[in-house]
Amino acid sequence: MNLLEVENLKVSYGGIQALKGISLSIAQGELVTLIGSNGAGKTTTLKALAGLLHPVSGKVHYQEKSLLPVLAHQRVMNGIALVPEGRGIFARLTVEENLLMGAYIRHDKTGIATDLARQFELFPRLAERRAQLAGTLSGGEQQMVAMARALMSCPTLLMLDEPSMGLAPLMVEKIFETIRNISAQGMTILLVEQNAKLALEAAQRGYVLESGTITLSGAAGDLLGSDAVQRAYLGA
């Protein structure tokens, strides 16, 4: 069963058509990646799915129901969480306070405490810095905060926008190891990433987005071996 179905989605900024009718699907428990160069429409896609942008036309079904009439905050309540490009953490709050902000829609105090402990197990570095102001953390640690905060909402669909951006290679490795671990636990993930090699190695399937249009799609291994993908994104 597909958790998410997108059909002919079009999004415009003023007179510029950012998405020109894209279609994609994500099955329950799948890790799917969307790769492409800067300006291809990757972030626009995630913002439209999160309810932060309003499509001109198209259909989006989530759990077999139309998502388009659902407001952004209601989408979070329905299990859709976005880790935005640039992380968007609360710099003047502590690490723990940031994570608790991710659970703002929840009222199960025991469950929140359990999940907070689970995030500190998943991200041991955050456990060491739980009382530290998030704005004083390194870029990689802030990315961990953003991911853990999203997971505190108990999402069914986790969307990650450029999680490796601006990070040192060792931290990128740690972030992707965590993404793979979360996926192995059954989380459905839509990953937007410029590092095509890392993204395709982690994912089951992928889509290539160019100038607002999906030009290639298929099994991640097939895309990784594609001459077109290697020339355009892997430096071959």
For residues 146 and 95, membership in a common domain is answered with yes
* Residue 38 scores a pLDDT above 90: no
* Residue 236 scores a pLDDT above 60: no
Domain presence at residue 218: yes
Domain presence at residue 17: no
For residues 73 and 169, membership in a common domain is answered with yes
For residues 186 and 209, membership in a common domain is answered with yes
For residue 43, count CB atoms less than 10 angstroms from its CB and return exposed for 0-12, middle for 13-18, buried for 19 or more: buried
Domain ranges, residue 203: 24-54+69-79+158-236
Among the three residues 154, 171, 195, which one is the final residue of a domain in this structure? 154
Q: Determine contact, residues 196/225, Cβ cutoff 8 Å.
A: no
Q: What is the pLDDT of residues 142-182, one digit of tens each?
A: 999 999 999 999 999 999 999 998 888 999 999 999 999 99
For residues 92 and 139, membership in a common domain is answered with yes
pLDDT score, position 45: 97
Q: What is the pLDDT of residues 97-141, one digit of tens each?
A: 999 999 999 999 999 999 999 999 999 999 999 999 999 999 999
- pLDDT band at residue 13, thresholds of 50, 70 and 90? confident
Domain presence at residue 7: no
Q: What share of the chain is helix, strand, coil (3-state, %, to 5)?
A: 40, 30, 35
pLDDT score, position 232: 78
pLDDT score, position 230: 86
Domain presence at residue 171: yes
Domain presence at residue 184: yes
β-pair type (188-192, 157-161): parallel
For residues 147 and 97, membership in a common domain is answered with yes
Token couple for 214: 């999906």
pLDDT score, position 59: 97
Q: Determine contact, residues 51/68, Cβ cutoff 8 Å.
A: no
Domain presence at residue 197: yes
Among the three residues 127, 154, 181, which one is the final residue of a domain in this structure? 154
Q: What is the pLDDT of residues 202-235, one digit of tens each?
A: 999 999 999 999 999 999 999 999 988 888 777 6
Among the three residues 134, 154, 174, which one is the final residue of a domain in this structure? 154
pLDDT score, position 86: 85
For residues 229 and 115, membership in a common domain is answered with no
Domain presence at residue 209: yes
For residues 181 and 74, membership in a common domain is answered with yes
- Split into its structural domains, the chain has a count of 2
Q: What residues contact 61, with CB distance under 8 A and at least 6 apart? A: 4, 5, 7, 67
CATH of the domain at 165: 3.40.50.300
Q: What is the pLDDT of residues 178-209, one digit of tens each?
A: 999 999 999 999 999 988 999 999 999 999 99
Q: Determine contact, residues 3/26, Cβ cutoff 8 Å.
A: yes
For residues 148 and 201, membership in a common domain is answered with no
For residues 167 and 195, membership in a common domain is answered with yes
pLDDT score, position 116: 97
For residues 137 and 184, membership in a common domain is answered with no
pLDDT score, position 231: 83
For residues 163 and 104, membership in a common domain is answered with no
